[in-house]
């Protein structure tokens, strides 16, 4: 953990812990005497659930300023919420450095000391070259939304191939390439169409609408569920939507040709709704409403702007996504910093 790496580095620089708050708050006050000057470094761990408010920071600073000059007091805050803690660095009369625990970077904002008795360069090296940092770098790559990227790439490449070979807006052409068509599925047993249609689109706008939301929602949901569970959720939502849609139009005698990732994408909408409900107490109100707004915009775009939509597939995909989230995500806690 970056907090422990900073604490170890300060110890190597002959800073000794004079006071600690314990694990509940995560605060250590360290003292050193550099070239005859008394120094205080206050190391704060904001990676925990609790965090210090501005008034508490000011109170600690006031107490220490009675012992040493204010320029000899530095707060170092290790945080997974840089936006929140940036405000602490703007408190008048208090010197604050911020360490981004996720990116392992030292952030020094305007009006803050560019160095503190020669600690800066060593601190940067300490947080960036430890075994923990290398392990965390590997974790960051591991947490890339690989599945989402691959899914978008497959959809885009397959659309380019379709357009290069004919008219993607022509129903007969799309049937010949694997679109969903009830009579062929249930009479000729071409069940593979229930999957191939998920990667086909009738137009560039059709593709764009689905891929935009896949990119937006895919990242958060893939991190929450994990790569393989996310892929399973996506594919099963799309497959389930295809089955329900094809069966409905076949049984009602409508020779409907269906294609598109909408069923799977609406599964992601269902998963997003589930995550918002599960994490509502941990999400900032602004972000909650922003995500709701994005979903509503997508719903409006896909259901009222586009003509010839497959409303059955949309509804079925949403239900499948919501239910599958209970299985694949369940009670797991999402990554607070990256999800909210």
What's domain 145-339's superfamily in CATH? Rhomboid-like (1.20.1540.10)
For residues 133-139, give the mean pLDDT.
52
Cβ atoms 96, 60 nearer than 8 A: no
DSSP states along 45-68: EETSS----HHHHHHHHHHHHTTS
Pairing outcome for strands 257-258 and 73-79: unpaired
Q: What is the pLDDT of residues 43-86, one digit of tens each?
A: 999 877 678 888 888 899 999 999 999 999 999 999 988 888 88
Cβ-based burial of 228 (10 A; exposed 0-12, middle 13-18, buried ≥19): exposed
What pLDDT score does 161 carry? Answer: 96
pLDDT at 330: 72
Q: Using an 8 Å Cβ cutoff, are 112 and 85 in contact? A: no
- The pLDDT tens digits for 17-50 are 987 765 456 889 999 987 778 999 999 998 776 7
Judged on CB neighbours under 10 Å (0-12, 13-18, 19+), 136 is middle
Residue partners of 84: CB distance under 8 A and separation at least 6: 51
pLDDT reading at 207 higher than 90? yes
Q: Is the pTM of this model over 0.85?
A: no
Q: Is the pLDDT of residue 307 over 60?
A: no
pLDDT of res. 303: 54
Query: Is the predicted pLDDT of residue 133 greater than 70, yes or no?
Result: no
What pLDDT is attached to residue 134?
52
- List phi, psi (to 5°) of 166: 175, -160
What kind of architecture, by CATH, is found in domain 2-141?
A: 3-Layer(aba) Sandwich (3.40)
User: Whole-angstrom Cα distance, residue 151 to residue 216?
Assistant: 13
The residue-averaged pLDDT of 293-322 equals 72
pLDDT at 31 (0 to 100): 93
Block residue for tokens 């978008």: 152
User: How, if at all, do strands 180-181 and 257-258 pair?
Assistant: antiparallel
Query: In Å, how far are 31, 76, 123, 217 from 119, measured between CA atoms?
Result: 14, 11, 6, 41
Domain extent listing, the chain: 2-141, 145-339
Predicted confidence at residue 283, as pLDDT, reads 47
40: helix, coil or strand? strand
């Amino acid at each position: 953990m970056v907090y422990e790496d900073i604490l170890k580095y300060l110890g190597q620089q002959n800073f000794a812990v004079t006071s600690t708050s314990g694990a509940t708050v995560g605060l250590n006050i360290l003292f050193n005497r550099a070239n005859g000057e008394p120094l205080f470094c206050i190391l704060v761990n904001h990676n925990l659930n609790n965090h210090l408010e501005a008034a508490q920071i000011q109170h600690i600073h006031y107490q220490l300023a009675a012992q040493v000059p204010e320029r000899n007091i530095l707060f170092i805050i290790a945080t997974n919420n840089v936006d929140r803690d940036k405000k602490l660095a703007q408190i008048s009369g208090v010197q604050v450095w911020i360490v981004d625990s996720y990116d392992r970077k030292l952030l020094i904002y305007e009006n803050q000391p560019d160095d503190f008795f020669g600690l800066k360069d060593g601190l940067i090296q300490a947080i960036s070259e430890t075994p923990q940092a290398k392990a965390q770098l590997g974790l960051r790559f591991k947490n890339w939304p690989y599945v989402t990227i691959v899914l978008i790439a497959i959809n885009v490449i397959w659309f380019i191939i379709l357009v290069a070979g004919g008219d993607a807006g022509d129903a007969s052409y799309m049937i010949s390439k694997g679109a969903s068509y009830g009579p062929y599925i249930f009479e000729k047993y071409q069940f593979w169409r229930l999957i191939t249609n998920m990667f086909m689109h009738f137009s560039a706008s059709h593709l764009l609408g689905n891929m935009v939301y896949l990119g937006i929602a895919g990242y958060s949901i893939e991190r929450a569920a994990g790569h393989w569970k996310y892929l399973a959720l996506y594919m099963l939502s799309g497959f389930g939507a295809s089955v329900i849609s094809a069966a409905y139009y076949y049984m009602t005698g409508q020779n409907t040709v269906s294609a598109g990732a909408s069923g799977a994408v609406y599964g992601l909408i269902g998963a997003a709704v589930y995550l918002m409900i599960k994490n509502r107490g941990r999400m900032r109100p602004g972000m909650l409403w922003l995500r709701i707004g994005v979903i509503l915009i997508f719903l409006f775009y896909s259901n009222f702007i586009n003509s010839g939509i497959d409303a059955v597939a949309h509804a079925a995909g949403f239900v499948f996504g919501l239910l599958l989230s209970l299985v694949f995500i369940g009670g797991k806690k999402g990554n607070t910093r990256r999800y909210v």
